[in-house]
A and B are shown apart, each in its own frame.
Chain A
């Protein structure tokens, strides 16, 4: 476990060196700029829109980091040949893969934690001084702790995307890994269509294939509760728990697969 931790910390430090966290600056400018402009554009919906914008930006920026950093996690080490001295040390390939994965998760966690604090800050600023009877008409309070449910599921979504990127990164070039990961992400968005494929084709084989893809591909729509949370609709603890369990199982499958593929590569 110590080896996994060391690799993870190294990945986090590299992210800092690579200026990955510069996106936070963009996020801050986006939120603060929007909070100033939106009041004049939206007929009193500024709190709702800042929540939508904050959650969407958190998800989108995280997605870019997960894909574009994730696809280089392994290939960069191989291209730079830094993987050779690394494997001369007492570190197994599986530990290397896990370390890389958890390092990027740590980067995403730090990134999302800052974004969450910034979003709550802007929401506090916007709701300050608003009379209680107007706040009472909002679907949910400005500083609604339920927003954390949406953020937690965005994080799990990104954890799955990172695992997909890392999986492809173990045996493919960064360019192809990016294409594959984006492909899986987009397919995972429209997963529900695969389930109802029998409505558009007659062939039992095609229907069975679509049904198999429906279950095998990650269902990213599960992780999206942004709309419900912003409108103060309930998101149950059991839903969160089952979705988290689904993410953990899927991530574990991808990481095991990545370890198998990476173990078969010849670095001699």
Chain B
């Protein structure tokens, strides 16, 4: 047998095997792959032992898994109960294997703090992750700044936020705008303008993801302004028609509004007919606004 014949025979046999496989799949479909949320190893000490010299590349793999897990949960079907159960363990492993992985700390804190259902709504874990990063690199003012944001935006602890911004501003190399930020935070804690100033600073970040997150927050703040302005016609209607349900159609019919109001993602606002409370719809790109929904624990 010549080499050419043998080569052709090998290719033909492989082709036959592939064809048979495909035919079997049609008649006896392959079982659905069960994808339970599995993490075989959770102890960073064990993982470090297992990977030896290759800790950096292992950290990269866990980081990719964390991104996939977060993204997968976030875009999962409505029937799926989003738990984000593996997010913190994966980020913890990533940062234990590579303690200098700054993006894992910074994005990880954003992911963890994100309100449910777009994230696990666990700002306490954001704080834990950023504090871990600061233990590894105490001179990273960026981690302190992010920590201040978590205190300010998610935990509404304005005093801690101001203290953290102040500490960040004292780190050599920190930008000059951090010091006034600390003062503004303390003086105007909870005020939307102070919050806007914080996010406008983050919107200047070199990291595209951070910029996108800041843009979303700024859009949410604008939306909160719009909601506030919409309260006026709603209250006017309720004053004129006490005890009657209030809807957008009735407000438009009463010429209190020119049309059904839309948010910046072109989704109609939701109006509670009984209380007159206004918020963004679940389908909106701006959902949820701060404090709109709580994560299951």
A contacts, CB < 8 Å to B: 41-45, 48-49, 52-53, 55-56, 59-60, 133-134, 136-137, 139, 186, 189-190, 220-221, 224, 226-227, 230-231, 233
Q: Per a CB cutoff under 8 Å, which of B52, B64, B102, B107 touches A41?
A: B64
Q: Does B54 contact A (CB under 8 A)?
A: yes
Q: Per a CB cutoff under 8 Å, which of B49, B67, B98, B102 touches A43?
A: B67
Distance A59 CA – B53 CA, assembled complex (angstroms): 9
Top 8 A-B pairs, shortest CB-CB distance: A137-B206, A56-B57, A231-B100, A52-B56, A52-B57, A49-B60, A189-B52, A227-B56
Q: Can you offer 16 A-B residue contacts whose CB atoms are under 8 A?
A: A41-B67, A41-B68, A42-B60, A42-B63, A42-B64, A44-B103, A44-B209, A45-B63, A45-B103, A52-B57, A52-B60, A56-B56, A59-B54, A60-B54, A134-B206, A139-B102
Query: Which residues of chain B in 68-115 are interfacial with respect to chain A, using CB atoms and an 8 Å cutoff?
Result: 68, 98, 100, 102-103, 107
Distance A233 CA – B136 CA, assembled complex (angstroms): 13
Do B103 and A230 touch (CB < 8 A)? no
Nearest-CB residue, chain A, relative to B60: A49
A59 to B: closest C-beta gap in Å: 6
Do B209 and A45 touch (CB < 8 A)? no
Q: Does B193 contact A (CB under 8 A)?
A: no
| B residues in contact with A139, CB < 8 Å | 100, 102
| B residues in contact with A52, CB < 8 Å | 56-57, 59-60
Q: Does B55 contact A (CB under 8 A)?
A: yes
Do A55 and B209 touch (CB < 8 A)? no
Do A44 and B208 touch (CB < 8 A)? yes
Nearest-CB residue, chain A, relative to B52: A189
| B residues in contact with A137, CB < 8 Å | 205-207
- Other than the known A52-B57, A133-B206, what 17 A-B pairs have Cβ atoms closer than 8 Å? A42-B63, A42-B64, A43-B67, A43-B107, A45-B63, A49-B57, A52-B59, A56-B54, A134-B206, A134-B208, A137-B207, A139-B100, A189-B53, A220-B53, A226-B53, A226-B56, A230-B56
Nearest-CB residue, chain B, relative to A134: B206
B93 to A: closest C-beta gap in Å: 15
Q: Per a CB cutoff under 8 Å, which of A55, A60, A227 touches B100?
A: A227
Query: Interface residues of B, CB < 8 Å — how many?
Result: 23
Nearest-CB residue, chain B, relative to A37: B64
Distance A49 CA – B49 CA, assembled complex (angstroms): 21
Distance A238 CA – B102 CA, assembled complex (angstroms): 28
| B residues in contact with A136, CB < 8 Å | 206
| B residues in contact with A59, CB < 8 Å | 53-54
**Contact (A233, B67) CB under 8 Å given A53-B60, A59-B53:** no
**Contact (A233, B60) CB under 8 Å given A56-B54, A189-B52:** no
Query: Which residues of chain B in 205-236 are interfacial with respect to chain A, using CB atoms and an 8 Å cutoff?
Result: 205-209
Nearest-CB residue, chain B, relative to A228: B100
Nearest-CB residue, chain B, relative to A227: B56
Contact with A along B125-153 (1 / 0, CB 8 A): 00000000000000000000000000000
Distance A151 CA – B217 CA, assembled complex (angstroms): 43
| A residues in contact with B52, CB < 8 Å | 186, 189
| B residues in contact with A186, CB < 8 Å | 52
B110 to A: closest C-beta gap in Å: 11
| A residues in contact with B207, CB < 8 Å | 44, 134, 137
Distance A224 CA – B68 CA, assembled complex (angstroms): 29
**Contact (A233, B100) CB under 8 Å given A43-B67, A137-B207:** yes
Distance A44 CA – B209 CA, assembled complex (angstroms): 8
Do A43 and B60 touch (CB < 8 A)? no
